[in-house]
Amino acid sequence: MAKNKKTQQIDNHVIDNTNKGMTTNDGVFITDNNNTLKAGERGPSLLEDFIYLDKLAHFDRERIPERVVHARGSGAHGVFESTVDISSITRAQFLKKGTQTPVFVRFSTVAGFKGSTDLARDVRGFSVKFYTEEGNYDLVGNNIPVFFIQDAMQFPDVVHAVKPEPNNEMPQAGSAHDTFWDFISLMPEAAHMTMWTMSDRAIPRSLRMMEGFGVHTFKFVNTEGKGTFVKFHWKPKLGVHQVAWQEAQKISGYDSDFHRRDLWEAIDGGDFPQWDLGIQLIPEEDEFKFSFDILDPTKLIPEELVPVQIIGTMTLNRNPENFFAETEQVAFDPGRLVPGIDFSNDPLLQGRIFSYADTQNYRLGGPNFHELPINRPVNGKYNNQKDGFGRQEILKGNVSYFPNSLGNGCPYHAMLKGEKGFESHAEKVDGKKIRNRSQSFADHFTQARLFFNSQSDSEKNHLISALSFELSKVKSEDVRRRELAILNQIDSTLAKKVGDHLGLKPSTNLDDLTLQFARQNHPEYPIKAPKPEIEKSAALSMEVKLGEGNIRTRKVAFLIADGVSKSSIDKMKNGLEEEGAKAVLIATKVGPVKFKEGGEALVQFSYLTEASVCYDAFYTPEGDSISILKNEPDYYQFINEGYRHCKALAFAKGAEELLQNTYIKDDKVDKGVILESKNNLVEDFIQVMKGHRIWEREQDRKIPV
């Protein structure tokens, strides 16, 4: 049957890349699609790189109106206070001791669309806009200190690989599919970041309980023009905590806004989240001191080598008034600097300087996005730019150029009035124009091994389970084998255990195709890895020892029914609230619940509307309610699932008999199951909760993650 005209028109536009050489959008053949054009192997990227600009300009315009990446976000206002004098190393005024600076923070997932779940296994964006008296400064980072790629040229590729596959738009907000692991298995440089994303770091308990990192190496510049390399860290006051993978999947079903709701309710209730801002400082003369390259964004600087110095505290204290106007329209850009802070020659950072500004110009309708209220600098803006889409400010006069005399030379250069504006750090650059990478970027497995070695036994098991889950979703056996070979370079036991789940034996050698692509960047690859300074780093583990943490803002489900003892509730509730935790009454129905002693409480949550995965611990008070709970299946669902997810459970004396109908038999009662007849009920319950989870329960009781 002949095709109709419409079908023929479509067919004329179908492109098959098979056996075709790669070109730009203008048909120019590309010899290197992995590296930006730089002045020397470790030099800055050059603006004349039309291949990179063409690629990134297309990438930045692939979605309207939501962000291509970091589409799903949550935001809040706050204040940053500098607490340490570091004026000798930076002239940034907002870092002057005692200075308070308004901020707006946006947390986000990376891979999912705006409507995706908060609980996806994913990197989390952690971006802070400082409204300083010298202009806006954006610290645009993640909750993971490294990235998948070393050069910005491949940023569109890693995002395309992790996004839903283009032929069927699946899966949403997930990396467990062929295209992501196909890309990763051909990119040994991604090994370190892969370990982080497959770890518990990728499924935080709360946005308030995750670290933030600037990822790249930046520079501080002091008043004399001396530069110092710097890494930025955000350390949460509440500690760093996670949820189990199976738990995360269930939370997505019960409340896909779990993180967003948690942040909003905490601020709304006066439990303002806080982070300490820490810095790692590396003198310019120590740039080549380490076994790794500090300009390589796939590497971190272990805190044992360069301790993190705390210089200030950020407090989030106000929710947005309008989500779209603030959280959605806020525009972050790592190229927004203030005097005293500058870039390094990290090739991924160099590319982001273009990409983010270009994205915001497109996404927010033109070059005047900075006039939106959420993006306006507090000290005003003054230049000769008048026109463009979305212009809001009305600039007087007939001058729109510089220099001028008709406008009295205004706005003037800062130096003309004795003021000191932004000055780039004076760094000598000398190199050939090349597309290449420094040999110092070629060690891809040492820090991946450092991360794995630094994990606790439970964290290692979770990581193995995550890799097994993800690779089990990959249909291509070739891709599975390639990735197993990469894992084998990191740790043979890790690779073997993952391989056992896949029915495959890991190869000791990297796949030929992987080597082919790696050698495009490093012709001598694989190199002999330099000897690392350390084999383990305590800062890379999230494990909290029993009783060493805190339980502020943790939600404890009080499982009750009519006839519950008020005194039994109050005894535990008072103890928890003294520690900053929250008691939430959950009953067989919403509405009034009668106390054994007389009177009643108005309950807003029931077993029908709530789920155990949304709570941190569980308490069953005594009272006549026990006879009702004994025949309540949903009560046992809370207890059994809470136990399975390694959470703390407490039972008043009269409630202990309910254990007979749960999964928790006498031989499974551990330190996380607090019985009033055997323990100091309140104190021991709080002490166990401070350890976050009883992860050893997974091994001792063989409870799956």
Among 35, 142, 143, 361, the active-site one is 142
- Interatomic CA distance for residues 103 and 101, integer angstroms: 6
**Could you tell me which residues come within 8 angstroms of residue 578 by beta carbon, excluding any fewer than 6 positions away?**
none
Strand order across the 605-606 sheet: 605-606, 582-587, 555-559, 617-620, 648-651, 673-675
* Short-list 54, 155, 150, 149, CA closest to 347: 150
Q: First vs last Cα of the chain: how many Å apart?
A: 55
Say if CB 377 and CB 174 are below 8 A apart: no
CA distances 147 to 196, 322, 331, Å, are 9, 32, 21
Q: Assign residue 257 a region (left: φ > 0; alpha: ψ between -120 and 50; beta: otherwise).
A: alpha
Q: How many Cβ atoms are within 10 Å of 261's Cβ, its own excluded? A: 14
- Interatomic CA distance for residues 694 and 544, integer angstroms: 10
648, β-bridge pairs: 617
Indicate the helix (H) or strand (E) that contains 56: helix 50-60
Residue identified by tokens 């005293």 is 340
* Short-list 463, 494, 458, CA closest to 700: 458
Tokens (6 digits) for 336: 């927004």
Say if CB 440 and CB 358 are below 8 A apart: no
Among 34, 35, 70, 462, the active-site one is 70
Question: How many whole angstroms from its chain centre is CA 577?
Answer: 30
Does 259 participate in catalysis according to the annotation? no
| The length of the chain, given as a count of residues | 705
* Short-list 341, 302, 315, CA closest to 95: 341
Handedness of CA 515, 519, 521, 523 (dihedral sign): positive
Crossing angle of the two packed helices 155-162 and 50-60, in degrees rounded to 10: 30
Say if CB 110 and CB 234 are below 8 A apart: no
Does 645 participate in catalysis according to the annotation? no
Q: Assign residue 573 a region (left: φ > 0; alpha: ψ between -120 and 50; beta: otherwise).
A: alpha
Say if CB 235 and CB 211 are below 8 A apart: yes
**Could you tell me which residues come within 8 angstroms of residue 94 by beta carbon, excluding any fewer than 6 positions away?**
80, 82, 101, 130, 132, 133, 134, 137, 338
Q: How many Cβ atoms are within 10 Å of 444's Cβ, its own excluded? A: 27
Q: Is residue 423 exposed (0-12), middle (13-18) or buried (19+ Cβ within 10 Å)?
A: middle
The residue type at 144: I
**Helix spans in 275-337 (H):** none
The 3-state secondary structure of 197-236 reads: HCCHHHCECCHHHCCEECCCCEEEECCCCCEEEEEEEEEE
* Short-list 704, 703, 616, 630, CA closest to 668: 703
Catalytic residue numbers, as ranges = 70, 142
